[in-house]
Amino acid sequence: MSISKDIRVVGLDADDTLWHSEVYFERTQRRFDELVGRYVGADVDVHAALTAVERRNLGRYGYGIKGFTLSMIECAIEVTGGAIGVEELGQVLAAGRSMLDHPVDLIDGVDDAITALADAGYRLVIVTKGDLHHQEMKVMASGLADRVERVEIVSEKDVATYRRVIASMGVAPEQFAMVGNSVKSDVLPVIEAGGHAVHIPYHITWEAEHADHDGTVPTLTTIRDLPTWLAAQA
Amino acid sequence: MSISKDIRVVGLDADDTLWHSEVYFERTQRRFDELVGRYVGADVDVHAALTAVERRNLGRYGYGIKGFTLSMIECAIEVTGGAIGVEELGQVLAAGRSMLDHPVDLIDGVDDAITALADAGYRLVIVTKGDLHHQEMKVMASGLADRVERVEIVSEKDVATYRRVIASMGVAPEQFAMVGNSVKSDVLPVIEAGGHAVHIPYHITWEAEHADHDGTVPTLTTIRDLPTWLAAQA
């Protein structure tokens, strides 16, 4: 495999691109729906209530498991009118701790693809949104840190953020390609910044990450195809 | 005022160096002690119990108000054996939200000192530990962002972190000076990395930030004296 003439730096999204994440949120949310559902009438949509509390708190808590846990506790008290038990709130708290303590579970093909990219001479930077402390712990636990030049943990993935990241790597936008599972966060703002981007869908997408697009976004089925796609952009 | 011949970049700690922070933690903790104290015997030290839960969770939650709030809820359930009310847990949650929503309150003299440093040609970088999202919100709300070249939000302030920050600013360690309220985080590792550092004590220090030292650490009473101190290091 030869390196692309144009692309020098590959930006990698982390959650649900390199390792599984949303699946743990969904699992916890299902347990939360069950737990809280016992205290409310059949007409109450606990899932929708939690989504509303999360959205209300997003500006305050940002992304990540700690804010998600705080929103679950707030929602449990609110939606049950205080009828939820302290015991159950303790279980919600424990579910959040257990998510944070969960080992990093790489997505199939990631280790091979990252090795192929590093061997081909691409400089790799992880660009991930979320909680600084937890993301740093995950990068360290992933076993990928030695092949990655830099980890950029950002609070928003917008055009300005990508311009800053690209500049900090010392390349032109057209020498940068981003890969990720969110069209909204990983693809559209990078293309707007003048870079390359490719979408690798994950089987579930967090509601806040849905984006409307015209279907012309470059897409791969698996990260195993990334080295070939990059070489073809030359 | 003339710029120091040696020092080109000034690193600024944020919480309790540029703006008040610990005072809000202490206020919230006093309210927590009162609230939870009603449910436990006079022999139970709620304050000590919370400190223990915080320490136990530090590796999992890192620094910041979200982790502090989660630890308060966990401690309240644990220390009362589940006797605390859901109503009270809702109050703890609200106290955490209120801390996050609190306006940034600059420490006396900061605005003048930052203006003097910027006017004298020093390049300024905020180096702060803690929660990415909340620290970015505070920097933006502080009114200082336009005079600061970069904000580095780090998960630990150790020698390796400072070496990385100094290198990323493109200067030698002896051209970098750090100022902050923690001898352990802002002074000792910077000196070990070959830089300059000066301690400006805040009237309260978080227990985890206490450090033993031999008393020879450079110290200023107020950040108003920082420009003169920097010039004297030439």
Q: What span, in angstroms and rounded, lies between the C-alpha atoms of A154 and A135? A: 10
Contacts of A197 (CB under 8 A, 6+ apart): A177, A178, A179, A180, A186, A187, A188, A190, A191, A217, A218
Helix axes A46-61, A22-37, angle to 10 degrees: 130
Distance of CA A210 to the CA centre of its chain: 12
CA distance A223 to chain B (A): 29
Same domain assignment for residues A138 and A67 = no
B78, B132, B149: best to mutate for the A interface, most A CBs within 10 A:
B132
The phi and psi torsions of A146 (rounded to 5 degrees) equal: -70, -20
Q: Does the residue B1 lie in any domain? A: no
Query: Do both A143 and A222 map to the same domain?
Result: yes
- Quick check: is B77 in a domain? yes
What is residue B180's DSSP assignment?
A: E
Q: How far is B87 from chain A (nearest CA, A)?
A: 7
Q: Which tens digits make up the pLDDT trace of B42-69?
A: 999 999 999 999 999 999 998 899 999 9
Residues B129 and B197 in one domain: yes
User: What is the pLDDT, as a whole number, of residue A174?
Assistant: 95
Locate the DSSP E strands across chain B: 9-12, 123-129, 150-154, 176-180, 196-199
- What pLDDT does residue B205 have? 63
Which of A73, A133, A155 is the closest to B93 by Cβ?
A73
How far is B155 from B158, CA to CA, in rounded Å? 9
Touching check for B85 and chain A: CB below 8 Å?
A: yes
What is the amino acid identity at position B82? Answer: G
3-state secondary structure of B1: coil
CB contact under 8 A, A60 and B89: no
In this structure, the dihedral spanned by the alpha carbons of residues B16, B20, B22 and B24, taken in order and rounded to 10 degrees, is -170
Instruction: Give the residue among B106, B139, B95, B92 at the shortest CA–CA distance from B21.
Output: B106
Q: What is the CATH number of the domain that holds B93?
A: 1.10.150.240
Is B13's pLDDT higher than 70?
yes
Beta partners for residue B196, in sequence order: B177
Residue B153, pLDDT score? 87
Min distance A99 CA to chain B CA atoms (Å): 10
Q: Of A101, A133, A163, which residue sits at a domain end? A: A101
Q: How many CA atoms lie within 13 A of B78 on its CB side?
A: 17
User: What amino acid occupies position B65?
Assistant: I
User: At CA B156, angle to CA A9 and CA B46, rounded to 5?
Assistant: 140
Q: Give the pLDDT confidence score for residue B49 in this predicted structure.
A: 97
Which residue stretches of chain A have pLDDT < 50? Answer: 1-2, 4
Q: Which of A62, A67, A93 sits opposite B73 (nearest CB)?
A: A93
- Asked if A118 and A228 sit in the same domain, the reply is yes
Residues A145 and A126 placed together within one structural domain of the fold: yes
Measured between beta carbons, the chain B residues lying within 8 angstroms of A84 are 86
Both A59 and A119 in one domain: the answer is no
Amino acid A150: pLDDT: 86
Helix (H, G, I), strand (E, B) or coil at B20: coil
Query: Complex ipTM, two decimals?
Result: 0.85
What is residue B216's predicted lDDT score, i.e. its pLDDT?
78
Same domain assignment for residues A128 and A201: yes
Same domain, A127 and A27: no
Q: What is the residue whose two structure tokens read 């790799």? A: A124
A-chain CB neighbours of B62 within 8 Å are 131-134
**B82 and B183 housed in the same domain:** no
Number of domains in chain A: 2
Model pLDDT for residues B160-209, shown as the tens digit of each residue: 999 999 998 889 999 999 999 999 999 999 999 999 999 999 987 655 56
Domain annotation covers residue B3: no
Give CA–CA dist B118/B224, Å, rounded.
14
A96-151 residue pLDDT tens: 999 999 999 999 999 999 999 999 999 999 999 878 888 888 998 999 989 998 88
pLDDT digits over B144-154, tens only? 989 998 888 88
User: Which whole number is the average pLDDT over B9-35?
Assistant: 96
Please, how many CA atoms are within 13 Å of residue B84, restricted to the half-sphere of its CB? 31
* Domain presence at residue A83: yes
Share of chain B above pLDDT 90, in %: 77
Residues A130 and A81 in one domain: no
CATH number at residue B226: 3.40.50.1000
Do A140 and A155 belong together in one domain? yes
Residue B4, domain member (yes or no): no
Given a cut of 50, is residue B1 above it in pLDDT? no
Q: Does A73 touch chain B (CB under 8 A)?
A: yes
Range of the domain at B97: 22-101
Whether the CB of B63 is below 8 Å from some CB of chain A: the reply is yes
Contact B233, B196 (CB under 8 A): yes
The DSSP bridge pattern shows strands A150-154 and B123-129 to be: unpaired
Around Cβ B140, how many Cβ atoms within 10 Å? 12
Q: Sheet containing A123-129: which strands, arranged edge to edge?
A: A150-154, A123-129, A9-12, A176-180, A196-199
Cβ <8 Å between A133 and B155? yes
Cβ of B201 under 8 Å from any chain A Cβ?
no
